[in-house]
Each structure stands twice: as structure tokens, then as C-alpha cells.
Amino acid sequence: MATIIAIASHKGGVGKTTTALNLGYGLTRLGAKVLLVDGDPQGGLANASNLKRRTQAGLVQLLTNDRRANEMVTYTRDQRMAVIGAGVVTTDDVLQFEELALAGQLAISIRELAHDFDYVLIDAPAGIGGVVRGLLLACDSVIVTLNPRPLAVKSLPSFLKLIKSMADSDNPGLRLEGVLVTMMNAKSQVDASVFAQLQAQLPGAAMFATHIPFNEAFEVASLHATPVALLPAAALAARPYLDLALELKARELKAQAEESADDSSLGLF
């Protein structure tokens, strides 16, 4: 069973889709099998991965047409990564998608899809509405993406309250994986100040040590509908997401070690 992680935030345009695609690719480089789920009716991930050139069908069709899950998942050239779109084509589909999310059907389907993968990364739509709540029902944890800008920071508490509310009621297994700072412009005084405040005030475990610097290579990569690591000469831009994948794995291994720790143990031998 995969670890299901939502990439989400209250504010739009903070790098959720970019993070889902590039973190997913980073995890495949570590040998993991990853499913990317486009949970946004706008279809950002389907566009970013060029899925729409292959198929328009997705979660809506999976739930309404009684299609088999493996028919709806499209594998990339690297067989370790697959994508499923939202399947929203018409305005009726949008309404249906929201209804399915609110009814918990979306969460059930995503959990069924997860069986064949090590990680499922869900690209959630911006906001704290019904679709996001429906998607968080399926998740084990949430990565909150955040630009180090005042307006983005203002929206952070409301999203954290949503996670807490979900963890307290509908999904007790839900936890905060961490806040990921994206599109960081180290030369900007505003970014530097906000980032410094985040580092100073947020608990260490709540914030990823890795942050994603702003880099135009991400724009170029989205034009080519590819993870940035597959662009020629984009190693510098790709590195932070590979670091993030490693940090995620390290956190996971540490958590596993802590769960299985036996204080009386004297080591392996």
C-alpha cells in the first residue's frame, strides 16, 4: 500500500503542480513507484505532464463509468511513474467531481489505485473547499507549499486549521508532512525576511529543510510538459527536488526506526 501525500495549499500559484511532478520524478530516481493524481478540476497536472494528449479520461470516468482502475492510469515512459487525470471535460463533470469528492467516493478510488504503487502524490486544487476536503480523506499526509511572500503566508493558518480539523474528525491518520517553501528568490528582501521568520518561528519538524529556489527552468519544463530534471542542462534546478525526495525518504525511515525502536536493544549483533 502506497503512502498517499497531498500537495496542497490555500493559495494558488505556489508550485503545487510543479512539486507533485518533480517530487514524483525524484522519488522514482530513488527506485519508488509513483502515481501522480490530478485532483484539480482545472487539470494542471494533466497539462503539466501532457496527459491530455493521451487521454481525457480520469477519476470522474473511473467512478461513473465503472471502468477498471488500471485502464485509467497512464504510465510515463519511465514505467515507475504513472498519472491519472481528474477526467473533467465538461462543466457537468466539475459538479460531478465535487459531489464525488464530498461523498468520499474519490478517496475510496484513490486508495484502491494506491495498491500498485509506493507513493501516490495528489495535486490538490487551491483552497479549503469540498474537493480539497474530499481528497484529504484519502491521504496519509500533506505537504503544504508556500511562497515566502506576505500574501501566501496569510493563507497558511487557515490551511493548517483544515488539516487539524480533518485529523481531529474525518481522517484521524492525517498528518502534516511539512511546509515546503517554493519559488524562493534569495535576492529579494521580502522573500528573505519572510523565509527567515518562517525558519525562526515554525517548529523544525514542520518545515522541510529543503526549499525550492525560483528558477526559470521550471517554466521551460512546463512548456515541454516534463519534469525539470529531464531538461538538458537543468541539473541545478532539478537538484532541490531530488534533495526533497531524499529528505522525505529520510523522514520516513526515521519514523519507521522510531516506531520499531527498542530501548533495550544493543544494536544489530
Partner 1 sequence: MTHRWDFSEIGESARLCADLLSPSGKSSPRPKVNQVRTVARPAPALAKLATLTRPATIPGPTMLLGNTRQDRLQASLTAMCERGGFLGAVVADASGLCLAAVTPPIAEEQLAAFSSMLGEAMVHAGNLFTSGMANNLSLDINYTDKLAVRRFLFGGVPFCLVVLCPQTCDERAEVELSVDELQRILAP
For partner 1, which is the closer residue by CB, 54 or 175?
175
For partner 1, which is the closer residue by CB, 176 or 231?
176
Q: At its nearest, how many Å lie between partner 1 and the CB of residue 12? A: 17
For partner 1, which is the closer residue by CB, 156 or 231?
156
For partner 1, which is the closer residue by CB, 216 or 258?
258
Cell of 192: 528573505
For partner 1, which is the closer residue by CB, 94 or 153?
153
Polymer length of the chain = 269
User: Which positions lie near partner 1, rule CB under 8 A?
Assistant: 29-31, 141, 150, 153-154, 156-157, 160-161, 163-164, 167, 173, 175-179, 189-190, 193-194, 197-198, 201-209, 247, 250-252, 254-255, 258, 266-269
Q: At its nearest, how many Å lie between partner 1 and the CB of residue 206? A: 4
For partner 1, which is the closer residue by CB, 54 or 251?
251
Q: At its nearest, how many Å lie between partner 1 and the CB of residue 205? A: 4
Q: At its nearest, how many Å lie between partner 1 and the CB of residue 99? A: 29
User: What CA dihedral angle connects 166, 171, 176 and 177, to 10 degrees?
Assistant: -150
Q: At its nearest, how many Å lie between partner 1 and the CB of residue 117? A: 16
Q: At its nearest, how many Å lie between partner 1 and the CB of residue 100? A: 27
For partner 1, which is the closer residue by CB, 94 or 167?
167
Sheet of 175-181, strands arranged across: 74-75, 81-84, 34-38, 119-123, 3-8, 141-146, 175-181
Q: At its nearest, how many Å lie between partner 1 and the CB of residue 184? A: 15
Task: Collect all residues with Cβ–Cβ distance below 8 Å to 2 and sequence separation of at least 6.
Answer: 35, 114, 115, 117, 118, 119, 120
Nearest of 259, 256, 260, 236 to residue 248 by alpha carbon: 256
Task: Collect all residues with Cβ–Cβ distance below 8 Å to 105 and sequence separation of at least 6.
Answer: 63
